Amino acid sequence: MATVIRLTKMGRKKKPFYRIVVTDSRKKRDGGWIESIGYYNPLVEPSIVKFDKERLEYWVKVGAKMSERVKTITK
Protein backbone atom coordinates (compact mmCIF):
# COMPACT_ATOMS: atom_id res chain seq x y z
CA MET A 1 0.00 0.00 0.00
CA ALA A 2 1.41 3.38 -1.02
CA THR A 3 0.61 5.99 1.61
CA VAL A 4 0.53 9.72 1.02
CA ILE A 5 0.15 12.76 3.24
CA ARG A 6 -2.27 15.18 1.62
CA LEU A 7 -5.10 17.63 2.21
CA THR A 8 -8.73 16.62 2.37
CA LYS A 9 -11.34 19.32 1.90
CA MET A 10 -13.83 20.06 4.65
CA GLY A 11 -16.11 23.02 5.29
CA ARG A 12 -18.85 24.30 3.05
CA LYS A 13 -19.14 25.97 -0.33
CA LYS A 14 -16.80 28.97 -0.73
CA LYS A 15 -15.46 28.43 2.82
CA PRO A 16 -12.86 25.69 2.48
CA PHE A 17 -11.09 24.16 5.45
CA TYR A 18 -8.56 21.38 5.03
CA ARG A 19 -7.34 18.47 7.15
CA ILE A 20 -3.85 17.10 6.76
CA VAL A 21 -4.35 13.34 6.54
CA VAL A 22 -2.46 10.14 5.85
CA THR A 23 -4.26 7.99 3.29
CA ASP A 24 -3.84 5.31 0.67
CA SER A 25 -2.79 6.92 -2.62
CA ARG A 26 -5.53 5.08 -4.53
CA LYS A 27 -8.38 6.69 -2.54
CA LYS A 28 -10.27 9.77 -3.67
CA ARG A 29 -9.36 13.18 -2.26
CA ASP A 30 -12.14 13.10 0.31
CA GLY A 31 -12.23 9.32 0.70
CA GLY A 32 -11.37 7.50 3.90
CA TRP A 33 -8.07 8.15 5.60
CA ILE A 34 -5.77 6.31 7.98
CA GLU A 35 -4.95 9.16 10.36
CA SER A 36 -5.63 12.89 10.64
CA ILE A 37 -2.48 14.70 11.75
CA GLY A 38 -3.49 18.35 11.50
CA TYR A 39 -5.46 21.06 9.75
CA TYR A 40 -5.04 24.12 7.52
CA ASN A 41 -7.36 27.13 7.36
CA PRO A 42 -6.48 29.48 4.47
CA LEU A 43 -9.34 31.93 5.02
CA VAL A 44 -8.12 33.71 8.14
CA GLU A 45 -5.31 36.26 8.15
CA PRO A 46 -2.66 34.91 8.70
CA SER A 47 -3.44 31.36 7.59
CA ILE A 48 -3.61 28.79 10.38
CA VAL A 49 -1.60 25.59 10.06
CA LYS A 50 -1.52 23.16 12.99
CA PHE A 51 -0.14 19.66 12.78
CA ASP A 52 1.49 17.00 14.92
CA LYS A 53 5.16 17.19 13.95
CA GLU A 54 6.03 13.86 15.57
CA ARG A 55 3.35 11.98 13.62
CA LEU A 56 4.34 13.73 10.37
CA GLU A 57 7.97 12.68 10.86
CA TYR A 58 6.88 9.12 11.72
CA TRP A 59 4.84 8.72 8.54
CA VAL A 60 7.60 10.18 6.37
CA LYS A 61 10.08 7.81 8.04
CA VAL A 62 7.96 4.75 7.25
CA GLY A 63 7.64 5.76 3.59
CA ALA A 64 4.63 8.07 3.18
CA LYS A 65 5.09 10.71 0.49
CA MET A 66 3.93 14.28 1.05
CA SER A 67 1.98 16.17 -1.59
CA GLU A 68 3.50 19.40 -2.88
CA ARG A 69 0.95 21.54 -0.99
CA VAL A 70 1.62 19.76 2.30
CA LYS A 71 5.37 20.21 1.81
CA THR A 72 4.97 23.96 1.41
CA ILE A 73 2.59 24.55 4.34
CA THR A 74 4.49 22.38 6.84
CA LYS A 75 7.87 24.09 6.37
Vertex 31: Cα angle to 47 and 52 (nearest 5): 40
Contact call for residues 23 and 34 (beta carbons, < 8 A)? yes
* Domain 3-74: top CATH class: alpha beta
* Residue 53 DSSP class: H
CA distance 35 to 62: 14
* pLDDT tens sequence across 59-69: 999 999 999 99
Where along the chain do its domains lie? 3-74
Three-state secondary-structure class, residue 73? helix
* pLDDT tens sequence across 1-40: 699 999 999 999 999 999 999 998 888 877 788 999 999 9
Nearest to 15 by CA among 44, 43, 47, 38: 43
